[in-house]
Structure 1
Amino acid sequence: MAKKSNTNVIRQSVLGKAIVNYFRPTYYFKSISKIDLKYLRDVGIKNIICDLDNTLVPHYIGIPQRKTINFINEAKQNNINFFIASNNTGKRVERFSKNLSNLDGFYSNIKKPLTMNLTRIMAENDMNIKNTIMIGDQLEMDILAANILHLNSILVEPLFDESYNYSNLTRFIEKFIYKRLARFNALRKGEYSSLESNIDNKIL
């Protein structure tokens, strides 16, 4: 019985560590407005790959809001290139992005958490894992993709709660991931990051 119990503990530990490795963001903030772009510049970030829906604007907003425009303008002022990479359709992403004069590029149908298209974007724009960071609102899409690529990442709270549209399985998986991250003190809902405390612990 003791041997079986020890085996279960080991399995749980291995699973927990795997979840931390794949789903823990480098940083966690309430919104993009809380991100210190000057600090990112100072530690070597030159490129941002950002999700669109519920990260920059709620999914039902068709054009950039002032805070989105200001955020991208501030990135440019800090010599950081800004790219949108969305799983949404080309029509949606293009309609939104064409209103952003300071945008360096936009990409649709990315199929996150698969990384093939993200790898292509990085190659086309001379990005590498040390000078690029991903921003998104979903652990199982944006953060998982970033961690597979060994990129630094920023998780933000969704600007609109779409959990009612999720299947029961998707909701279960998301809750399971958050619970495991909390158990390993890797991430807790509502406990946001300090930039200085995290970046040296990952890639840069």
Structure 2
Amino acid sequence: MFAVGLTGGIGSGKTTVADLFAKHGIVIVDTDVIAHRITAPGGPAMPLIEQAFGSRFIAPDGSLDRAKMRTLVFSNDAARVRLEGITHPLIRAETERQRGTATGPYVVIVVPLLIESDTWKTRVDRVLVVDCSTETQIARVMRRNAFSREQVLAIMARQASREARLAAADDVIVNDDAPLAQLEQEVRRLHRHYLALAGGKPT
């Protein structure tokens, strides 16, 4: 099935844009949602994570202690690679499963680190970047997650630059506090375009 890879930096508004595509009846496969599911209590990644990192990274309810793991992987590249070696294959497998069962003319796959991964770029037919200014990103994430500016900057430093994302984009939606009506219009325009590319009929 024709697949659009939707990406953008943290705080860019990927979820808002994905939700607008969903209103057109498009199936959304969100790799962040999948990542949370596989690290929830009883999730398939949890036994492997406990074996690799120890029980101190397991929360009392049996889920991943995200705060502890975030602190570790941001200061230890080897730990980050080890964690990704556990989670990424599971995320990819579930993404492909959902893509394979999706109905409709095309599917939108939300991948925050799509630009950073050669693997993901080969799995989609089109790259849609949700873009906004760096300061907008920082303000949104500080407000949403109660992170410090330094924490947000540390996360952004591990993501592709804004310039790299835009260079890799086939399509761009600018979301610097754009009114919802404007975003809806942009999504409607791209929806018709993707229908045509996928061989469907514009609605």
TM-score range, shorter chain: 0.3 to 0.5
Structure with the bigger RCO (C-alpha within 8 Å, sep 6+) is 2
TM-score, structure 2 length as denominator? 0.39
Structure ranking higher in helix proportion: 2
TM-score, structure 1 length as denominator? 0.38
